[in-house]
Structure 1
Amino acid sequence: MNAPSRTTFAPQKAAVFAKIEAMLPELEKIYIDLHSHPELSMQEIRTAGIAAAWLDKHGFEVHPGVGKTGVVGLLKNGDGPVILLRADMDGLPVKEKTDLPYASAQTGTDRFGQSVSIMHACGHDFHVTWLMAVCKLLSEARDTWKGTVMAVFQPAEETGAGARAMLEDGMVKRFPKPTVSLGQHVIPLPAGRIGYKSGVAMSAADSWEVKLFGRGAHGSKPQNSIDPVVMASATVMRLQTVVSREVAMADSAVVTVGTIQSGFNENVIPDEALLRLNIRTFKENVRQRVLASVKRIIEAEAQASGAPKPPEFSVISQFPLTFNDEAATARTVDGMKGWFGGDRVVAVEAASGSEDFGLFGTAWNVPSVFWVIGGTDPEVFAKAMSGDDPGAMPVNHSPFYAPVLHPTLRTGVEAMLAAAYTWLD
């Protein structure tokens, strides 16, 4: 997969793609270093420093500390379009179990004050490496394009806070309005393949924290208590009916309770329980109905249990729908097919995962295009898809998730470079 099946790029630009081969050893070292040193959301100080130093080295005007740990680099090269290229930087509170020689051993404190292991379990180390490579290539080949490249190294995608933080820090006023906003993500597809989806590409996501209130007592005297453990358990079970009984078959939604916490001792009935929920939807009317149903059920279960006061709700994170502009997607995909050929650039279904990337395009009111890069060994992928062994293919956020280094590394660089050239042409 080192050579394209066809190319519609001029020889000058094709020569820039050819330089990637010689860069791979350097990029591999960068990737391994980033993978070994993941940082949690809004704590990406080391990663941001690496990105900022790289941009400065390659002639970009560098703006660090945007939205706390975000970095924006501008490379102006005459009159022409402004293209925003985005990479997210944060890792996850996951203990790595890949057995890679460069597996992360990092630990830290998460946003809830918990001591956690940290891992690049979602491929953001690839994303940063890809964008760094493209910035170098475009900087060293300024005779092949005109316009402005805006490189955005974004914090806190995993919590949905990063893009908002950068925008709240004045991005729209501080930097030129892009012509288009472009981004990419590694996922479990066969390595070397690129996937795209016009229109709605990824779901909206809402995460809540809910406190349930009971009355504590001795474990031997449940009659003196209002047991929040039972209340929380009944709530979790009843929430399973939201999707199965309140969402139409033609629609889709996911309601996940990812955290349930209550008590510390087996013979003490506690007085509180905590739930953290994640809700994903593809339509705004479905989203509103599901959110209302979840709130109704939680409040009703508390009342049925005789809770001394109603539950308390707080929003942990909120992700918008990721929507790919149809015309911009068609143009970008045509450009990538011009390098890779149509057999490697394929249409995919909308993903149930979520992203905050679309907030940049919305803030400037410009089109966005977000596509995916395969990172799974093709044989492992084929086996998993056959149904023989679905567990053989770890997915994003798994402690075993480790995209194959090659050809994933090269493919991501080529895809972003092809997309950039398509708009800078």
Structure 2
Amino acid sequence: MPGLNTLLPATTELYLDLHRHPELSGAERRTAARFADRLEADGFRVLRGLGGHGVAAELANGEGPAVLLRAELDALPVAERTGAAYASTVTAAGPDGRPVPVMHACGHDAHLACAAAAARWFAARRDSWRGTLLVVGQPAEETLSGARAMLEDGLYDRITPPDVVLAQHTAAFPAGMVAHADGPVLAGSLTLELRFEGDGGHAATPHLSADPLLAAAGVVTRLPVVAAREADPAERLVVTASSLRTTDAGHTGNVIAAQAVLRVTVRAFSEAALDRAASAVERVARAEAGAAALPPRVTVTQTSRSGVTLATPDVTAAVRSAHVAAFGAARVTGWPATSATEDFPLLTGAGAHLHGRPGIRGGYWMLGTVGPAQWAAAPGTGAAEKLRALPGNHSPHYLPSVRLTLETGTTALVTAGLARLAGPAR
């Protein structure tokens, strides 16, 4: 794509800076400012502070469709172990106020850098397209709350509503490649908080008090049964206990905690399957608590939910064709639906419909990040073995190949955007 190579130095500088200075969900002040400043300097009308630290930018360029490029701002509470010269050493206050390490372990820094580079390309070459280009930096994707917060803050009332929303996500397969799914790309998910409450007591006399921790631990051991026995074997369902903690003096060895909080995540590829699994988890929790001689009280709260990431078929076909033209067929591959999740679906389809914007379609693809040296060093004799061994998203060792990831990701966004925008005026 003409002109893209000249963008690489500035794109790399932005990526390295974002990687060194990650910020947790809801605290992306610096990241949002860097992204917004860059878009503003390129001539976009920029809105800041949407749904938290969200950024939305708009560039009108004549009559034509409105196409939105979306990237995410936030990082994860992970201690980086990549050994890179630009590795994060940042810590931030966690939910309990204690410092936690922070790392861009999911590739959002690459998403932002590619989106900023693509925006600069479109701004400098307005004779190549017609329509309206929109660019969004979304906060709090990792907590599945940012897209909803931006919509509730009037995102689609404060910018031109898009006809199509486009996004990509990094993954641990060879850099220089992109992957498209013919059906679902990512699973839908929900997170449940199960709170068990009793009166506490002395560890020497457990028969005299309810034991919230014991009931919660019992639920943890029962959760595999939900996926194994309450779903059709052909239906992919993942039910995971992600954390268990006491909220009072239960850390002391001679005290039975008065409260225990269990977080459970559910992943599935239909809304019905998510609902059934949520009901099963709650039933198991209440039954486990009720089996005790002194049952603890149980409260179940759904703290987040996101739909299945399913790109619109005609958008996928057009973007895939554009990618084949740009990269060659050998660098464009298929993608099997995975049980990872995100809140992109809220910006399209039913999610957008709930906020008065029906008919918004979506395109979503995966972006390879594994450079040749990392691929060669991965154990295994075949591709399948190497893919299983490579550190993936959310790993403290996850580290995209900078040049290949940024070059490919920028080209993928530009060519996808051109495939959905109108051509130059005649």
* Shift of residue 361, structure 1, vs aligned partner: 1.6
2:68–2:134 contact (8 Å) kept in structure 1: yes
Show the counterpart of 1:413.
410
Q: Taking structure 1 as the reference length, what is the TM-score of the superposition?
A: 0.92
Equivalents in 2 of 1:391, 1:223: separation in Å?
A: 47
1:320 aligns with 2:313: no
Deviation at 1:423, TM superposition (A): 1.2
CA–CA separation in structure 2 for the residues paired with 1:330 and 1:391: 29
The counterpart of 1:275, out of the listed 262, 279, 290, is: 262
Contact 2:164–2:362 (CA under 8 A) maintained in structure 1: yes
Whether 1:90 aligns to 2:84 is no
Alpha-carbon contact 1:71-1:153 (below 8 Å) kept: yes
**CA spacing shift, 1:150–1:199, aligned 2, 3 Å:** same
Aligned-partner Cα distance in 2 for 1:21–1:174: 33
Alpha-carbon distance change, 133 to 194 in structure 1, aligned in 2, over 3 angstroms: same
Deviation of residue 392 (structure 1)?
3.8
Conservation of the 8 A alpha-carbon contact between 1:213 and 1:307: no
Amino acid at match of 2:191: S
Letter in 2 for 1:121: A
State the one-letter code of the partner of 1:402. L
SS at structure 2 position matched to 1:24: helix
Does structure 1 conserve the Cα–Cα contact (< 8 Å) formed by 2:210 and 2:296?
Answer: no
By how many angstroms is 1:315 displaced? 2.2
Match of 2:37? 53
Pairing partner for 1:383 from 372, 380, 387? 380
Q: Does 1:351 align with 2:338?
A: yes
Query: Could you tell me whether the CA contact under 8 Å between 1:380 and 1:392 is conserved in 2?
Result: no
Superposition deviation, residue 177 in structure 1: 2.1
Secondary structure of the corresponding residue to residue 195 of structure 1 = strand
CA distance in 2 between counterparts of 1:120 and 1:372 reads 17
Q: 1:173 matched to which residue of 2?
A: 157
- Tell me the equivalent position of 1:374: 368
CA distance in 1, matches of 2:242, 2:215: 16
Q: Which residue of structure 2 lines up, in the alignment, with residue 12 of structure 1?
A: none
On the 8 A contact 1:215/1:228 being kept in 2, the answer is no
- Equivalent position of 2:298 in the other structure: 311
Partner of residue 285 from structure 2, selected from 292, 298, 301: 298
Q: Deviations over 1:323-371 (max 9, x none)?
A: 1111111011111111111111111111211111121122132110110
Task: Give the Cα separation in 2 of the matches to 1:129 and 1:57.
Answer: 15
- Using the TM superposition, give the Cα deviation of residue 388 of structure 1 relative to its aligned residue in structure 2, in angstroms: 5.4
1:422 to 414, 419, 423: 419
Matched, 1:329 2:316: yes
- Residue 118 of structure 2: aligned partner: 134
What are the Cα deviations for residues 369-400 of structure 1, in whole angstroms up to 9, with x where unaligned?
11010012343568386565777411111111
Aligned to 1:190: 174
1:395 alignment partner in structure 2: 392
Change in 2 beyond 3 A, CA 1:389/1:132:
closer
Q: Aligned partner of 1:372: which letter?
A: M
Query: Aligned residue for 1:11?
Result: none
Please state whether the residue corresponding to 1:311 is helix, strand or coil.
strand
Deviation at 1:114, TM superposition (A): 4.6
107-116 vs 206-215, greater mean Cα deviation: 107-116
- SS in structure 2 at match of 1:182: strand
* Map of 1:14 onto structure 2: none
Whole-angstrom CA distance in 1 between matches of 2:163 and 2:293: 57
Instruction: Pick closer, same or farther for the CA change 1:313–1:99 going to 2, 3 Å.
Output: same
Q: Deviations over 1:220-272 (max 9, x none)?
A: 22222322222122110011111111111111111111111132112222222
How big is the shift at 1:111?
4.5
Aligned-partner residue type, residue 28 of structure 2: E
- The alpha-carbon deviation at position 406 of structure 1 amounts to 2.7
Deviation, structure 1 residue 64: 0.9
Asked if 2 retains the 8 angstrom alpha-carbon contact of 1:384 and 1:392, the reply is no
> Relative to 1, partners in 2 of residues 1:167 and 1:194: Cα closer, same or farther, differing over 3 Å?
same
Mapped to 1, the partners of 2:143 and 2:209 lie a distance apart of 36
| Cα distance, 1:370–1:384 mapped onto 2, change above 3 Å | farther
The alpha-carbon deviation at position 179 of structure 1 amounts to: 1.9
Separation in structure 1 between the aligned mates of residue 330 and residue 13 of structure 2, nearest angstrom: 30
Q: Is the 8 A contact 1:188 1:381 kept in 2?
A: no
CA distance in 2, matches of 1:355, 1:385: 30
Aligned with 1:383: secondary structure? coil
5+ long unaligned stretches in structure 2: none
CA RMSD of aligned residues (A): 1.8
Task: Please state if 1:43 is matched with 2:30.
Answer: no
Q: Secondary structure at the match of 1:407?
A: helix
Conserved in 2, the CA contact under 8 Å of 1:190 and 1:381? no
Q: 1:256 to 1:176 in 2, by over 3 A?
A: same
Alignment correspondent of 1:19: 3
Counterpart position of 1:289: 276
Q: Which residues in structure 2 correspond to 1:75-224 (within 5 Å)?
A: 75-111=59-95, 113-224=97-208
Could you tell me how far 1:47 is from its partner in structure 2?
0.8
Q: How does 1:215-254 map to 2 (within 5 A)?
A: 215-254=199-238
Q: What residue identity is the alignment partner of 2:121?
A: L
Measured in 2, the distance between the counterparts of 1:188 and 1:51 equals 25
Q: Which moved more, 1:222-231 or 1:253-262?
A: 222-231
Separation (CA, whole Å) in 2 of partners of 1:328 and 1:173: 24
Give the alignment's TM-score, normalised by structure 2. 0.92
What amino acid does structure 2 have at the position aligned with 1:409? L
C-alpha distance in 1 between matches for 2:115 and 2:364: 14
Aligned-residue offset at 1:316: 2.2
Q: 1:92–1:121: 8 Å Cα contact kept in structure 2?
A: yes
Equivalences, count: 409
When residues 384 and 142 of structure 1 are mapped into structure 2, their CA distance, relative to the original with a 3 A threshold, is farther
